[in-house]
Structure 1
Amino acid sequence: MRKFIYILGVAALIQSCGHDTPLKNSFEGKIERDQIAVTTKIPGKVHQILVSEGDVVQAGDTLMILEFPEVEAKSIQAKGALESAEAQYKMAVKGATENQLKQLRAKRDGLREQYEFAQKSLARMENLIKDSLIAQQKYDEVYMKFQGAKNQYLAVQAELADAENGSRIEQQKMALGQKERAIGAVSEVDVATKERFILAPQNMTIETINLKVGELALAGYSLLSGYLVDGTYFRVTIPERQLQNLTVGSKQELLFPYLKGKKIEAEVVSIKALNSYANIATAYPDFEQQESLFEVKLKAVQLDDARKLLTKATFILHLDTSK
C-alpha cells in the first residue's frame, strides 16, 4: 500500500514538472494590441503601395494610392455642368446683351412711328365719318390698324423693360438653384478624388497588406491592417478568490521571461467576468471548478516601455498576498 502511494506521488510530481506550473499566486498572461483596419469608401484599383509590412507610420501618412477612372469622368461632367449653370445664372441676372437692347429699342421706335401714324389716320377718319364722306367700312379698317399698331407698341415696351431689368426673380432663383446644385456635384467629385489617397488614421504598425497593385479594392474592404502604436495592453485570467488583491487603478509589476526577466510597471484598467472558457488568457489557471474567472486588463504606466513588446508574448503577474 505504501509503495502504491509512493508511485502515485512520483507520478504527480512528474506530471507537474512536465506542465511547468508557475509559482503560486503567479499568473501567465498575454501581450495584446488594439487592432485597426484601413478601408476605402469608394471602389477602385490599387495603383501604388507606399508601405511594407512591419513599418511604423504616423497618423496622416499616405499608405496607398488608388485609381478611380469613373470619378475622373464624373469630374469632367460636373465641371462642365457648373460652367453651364454659371452662364445661365449670369444671363438671368444681367438680362439681354447690349446688341439685343439696341434691337429692341429700334423695334420700339419703329412701332411707335406706326402707332402715331395710325392715331393721326384715325383722327382724320373720325372727321370724315362725321360728315358722311366715307363709308363705315373704311373707318373700321383704319380703326383696326390703329388698335394693332397700339398693341404692338405696348408689347415691345414691355419686352424692352424686361430686357433692361433682367429676368423675373423666379427665373433668377431657378438659375441660382441649378448653379448651387452644380457646385455641390463638383464638391462631391473633389471629395471622392481625395479618397484616392489612403491615409493612416492613427499612429500604427502595418501588420498585413491585403491587396497588391492592380487588384480591385471594394468599398468597405480592409486594404491594410495593423496595431495601434499606443494600443498595447496586458491580458490575464484571474480566479475570483484572488481578486481581493486587484483593484482598478492599482499598480502591478509584470515580468517578461522572453526578455530575460525584464519588469514593467502596469496599471489595472478593467476587470470583467469571462463568459466563455475559450477566452482564458492564462496557460494554467489555478481555479476551482465552481469558481468564476475574470479577465484583468492592464496598461503600462510608461507607454514607451510597451511599444517594442512582441504581440502574443507571455508575461507573468505575481500577486502579493501578504498585504
Structure 2
Amino acid sequence: MKPHFLPILTLSTLWLTSCQPDQPRTNELEGKVKKETVGVTAKVPGRITQLLVKEGDVVTKGQILARIDIPEAEAKLLQAQGAFTSAKAQYQMALRGATPNERRQADAALTAAREQADLAEKSFKRVQHMYQDSLISAQQYDEMQAKYGSARAQLNGTQAKRDEVDGRIRAERIRMAYGDMLRAEGALKEVQAAIREKVIVAPQAMTIESISLHEGELAPAGYTVMTGYDNTRTYLRFTVSEKEVGPFKKGEVYTVRLPYAPNQSVTARLVTVKELSAYAARTTSYPTYELGEATYELKLVPTDPSQQDNLLSNQTVLLPRR
C-alpha cells in the first residue's frame, strides 16, 4: 500500500467508528453499599500501653478498645487533692469563726495590752509632775509621752481584734473562701476526668476497620486511634440521571440484587433523593449523561436491620430501572 492512501484509510475508520450504535444500556442501576464511618479518638495525650481489639472485630458500645498511660495525671491529681482539701478547710473555718483557743489568745493579748497601757499612763503622769518641777528635760518628757500614746494605740488595736473574734464574720470573707473551694474542686474534677480517659472505649456498636496507632506509640489529644463502620447505619447508594429519576419515589420499597452473591437480594426503602452538583461525584459505570443533565443520588436503607450485618462496605448492588 502506498503512503498517500493512509489518511484516506484513517478517515474512513473514524467515520465507521462514529457510526457504530451506542452500547446497549442495562436494565439495572449499579450502586454501592455505604456504611457510616466512626472515628475513635484519644481525649488526652498519652502512650498506648495495650490494644484489646484487632481489625475486623465487632465491638459493642462501651467496650474497652485500648489503654493509655498518662503519668502526669497522677502527679496533678495529688496537687489538685491538696488544693481542694486546703480550700475546703478555709471555707469551713470562715463559716465557724474563731475557735476557743483563738478566743483565749485574743483575751490574753488584750489583758497584756491593757496592763501595758496602764503602766504607761502611770509612768507618764509621774514624768509629767517631774517635768513641771523642772526635774527632767523636755526630751525625756516627749519620749515618755510617745510611749504612752503607743501603748494606748496598741490597746485599741488589740481590743478591735478581740471584738472581731467575738463579732460576726464578714459575708465577703465567706464568699471568697467558698469561691476558692469551688475553684479547687473544679481543678480536681478536671484531673479526675483526665484519668478516666486512660481507657478508650467504643462510642457505639461497630466493626473495627483500621487501627492507626499501636502499643508503645504516643497518641496526641484528638488523634484518631482507630476507625470503624457502624453496622446499624448502612445504606445503598445509586446515581441516576435526570431523565430516569422520575419513577423513583421516596418511601417506596425496592428489591436490590447482590450480583456477586447468587440468589441473594435485599429489600430496601428509598429515603433520600439528592441532587449531585459535581460531575466528579457520578460513580456510574455507564456515563451516558447528556451535556448539562442533572444527576441525583438515591439513598436506600435496608428494611430488615439483620440484613445490614451481611452487607460489606463498598459492595456492589444492582437496582432494577423503572
Give TM-score scaled by structure 1 length: 0.79
Correspondence for 1:308 among 299, 307, 310? 310
Contact 1:247/1:268, CA 8 A, preserved across alignment? yes
In structure 1, the partner of 2:54 is 52
Give, in whole Å, the separation in 1 of the partners of 2:310 and 2:31: 17
- Pick which of 258-267 and 213-222 moved more: 258-267
In structure 1, the partner of 2:268 is 266
1:103-252 counterparts in 2 under 5 A?
103-113=105-115, 115=117, 147-165=149-167, 168-252=170-254
SS in 2 for 1:205: strand
Contact 2:65/2:201, CA 8 A, preserved across alignment? yes
Q: Deviations over 1:273-297 (max 9, x none)?
A: 3334433333235544553322211
**Shift in Å at residue 60 of structure 1?**
1.8
Contact 1:267/1:300, CA 8 A, preserved across alignment? yes
**Shift in Å at residue 84 of structure 1?**
2.5
SS in 1 for 2:67: strand
Structure 2: runs of 5 or more not aligned: 1-15
Cα pair distance change 1:225/1:259, threshold 3 Å: same
In structure 1, the partner of 2:38 is 36
- Identity in percent: 37
Cα pair distance change 1:148/1:36, threshold 3 Å: closer
Give, in whole Å, the separation in 1 of the partners of 2:164 and 2:213: 62
Cα pair distance change 1:164/1:275, threshold 3 Å: same
Give, in whole Å, the separation in 1 of the partners of 2:60 and 2:66: 14
Q: Deviations over 1:176-213 (max 9, x none)?
A: 32222111111111111122221211221111111111
- Pick which of 62-71 and 280-289 moved more: 280-289
Q: Deviations over 1:10-37 (max 9, x none)?
A: xx79x96xxxx7743x111111111111
Amino acid at match of 2:108: A
**Shift in Å at residue 86 of structure 1?**
2.6
Give, in whole Å, the separation in 2 of the partners of 1:233 and 1:89: 58
Q: Deviations over 1:102-160 (max 9, x none)?
A: 2321232344345556667889999x89xxx956979x788777655543333222111
Contact 2:231/2:308, CA 8 A, preserved across alignment? no
Cα pair distance change 1:259/1:175, threshold 3 Å: same
Give, in whole Å, the separation in 2 of the partners of 1:125 and 1:73: 66
SS in 2 for 1:242: coil
In structure 2, the partner of 1:67 is 69
Cα pair distance change 1:137/1:206, threshold 3 Å: same
Q: Deviations over 1:291-315 (max 9, x none)?
A: 3322211111122122211221211
Amino acid at match of 1:83: T
Q: Does 1:257 align with 2:255?
A: no
- Pick which of 231-240 and 147-156 moved more: 147-156
Contact 2:270/2:301, CA 8 A, preserved across alignment? yes
Contact 2:67/2:199, CA 8 A, preserved across alignment? yes
Give TM-score scaled by structure 2 length: 0.79
**Shift in Å at residue 68 of structure 1?**
1.2
Give, in whole Å, the separation in 2 of the partners of 1:160 and 1:297: 81
Give, in whole Å, the separation in 2 of the partners of 1:240 and 1:144: 106
Alpha-carbon RMSD: 3.4
In structure 2, the partner of 1:5 is none
**Shift in Å at residue 266 of structure 1?**
0.9
Give, in whole Å, the separation in 2 of the partners of 1:31 and 1:121: 105
SS in 1 for 2:108: helix
Cα pair distance change 1:291/1:145, threshold 3 Å: closer
Give, in whole Å, the separation in 2 of the partners of 1:119 and 1:93: 40
- Pick which of 225-234 and 244-253 moved more: 244-253
